[in-house]
Chain A
Amino acid sequence: NAGVTQTPKFQVLKTGQSMTLQCAQDMNHNSMYWYRQDPGMGLRLIYYSASEGTTDKGEVPNGYNVSRLNKREFSLRLESAAPSQTSVYFCASSEASKGGEQFFGPGTRLTVL
């Protein structure tokens, strides 16, 4: 099992450009999450999906959109990137019925110039 995979690993954008971060999990988990990690601020939840077909805002959703394409895949889109969105983005998945542990991907390091 690959666990949680994310693409790309690194990305540099110019202000105003758009891009989609991809995430996939092969553990048959119902719930998936997108976080951003900034220095000294821990992990902040952007959006989550409790199950296929549902998405909800987290703590910092402004400037982002998400799509739960199917049970495996959960993508994060930046429509018009801003320098404040420079961060490391992590995708995670969990299965509440199996305990609640979240499994994280390796992260995407995004720089917006």
Chain B
Amino acid sequence: GENVEQHPSTLSVQEGDSAVIKCTYSDSASNYFPWYKQELGKGPQLIIDIRSNVGEKKDQRIAVTLNKTAKHFSLHITETQPEDSAVYFCAASGTNAGKSTFGDGTTLTVKP
């Protein structure tokens, strides 16, 4: 089955700095790569996603890059703000009922 590894497990940055979270996946058939943000006491919520036919996608301060050959994808957050503090999960899925395999999560702390 699919295996997704996520690094780092914790990340602390100063407000205004950039944050980068990286994931690798094992199954070359995976074609959908979402990123979820989980705030304390809540369920995860999609913040950005990318499909295997695209190399990069941007939405305001958030961007995701995908390298299919190397089987890795990354989340980039620029100009971080305290409200970006949360746990971030990457995931990979193919066509099997939309099933996703999640990374173990990254706890991002943005210090004011």
Chain A residues close to B by CB (< 8 Å):
4, 31, 33, 40-45, 48, 50-51, 56, 58-59, 90, 92, 94-96, 99-102, 104-107
Taking a contact as CB atoms closer than 8 A, the residue among A51, A101, A106 that contacts B49 in the complex is A101
Taking a contact as CB atoms closer than 8 A, the residue among B36, B89, B98, B104 that contacts A96 in the complex is B98
Closest approach, in angstroms, between the C-beta of A29 and any C-beta of chain B? 9
Are A45 and B99 neighbours in the complex by a CB distance under 8 Å? yes
Binds A, one of B12-20, B40-48, B55-63, B73-81: B40-48
Are A43 and B89 neighbours in the complex by a CB distance under 8 Å? yes
Complex-state Cα separation, A54 to B97, whole angstroms: 11
A–B Cβ pairs within 8 angstroms, 29 of them: A4-B43, A31-B98, A40-B9, A40-B105, A41-B104, A42-B89, A42-B102, A42-B103, A43-B44, A43-B102, A45-B101, A48-B99, A58-B99, A90-B43, A90-B44, A95-B98, A96-B95, A96-B98, A99-B32, A100-B32, A100-B49, A101-B46, A102-B44, A102-B46, A102-B98, A104-B44, A104-B45, A106-B43, A107-B43
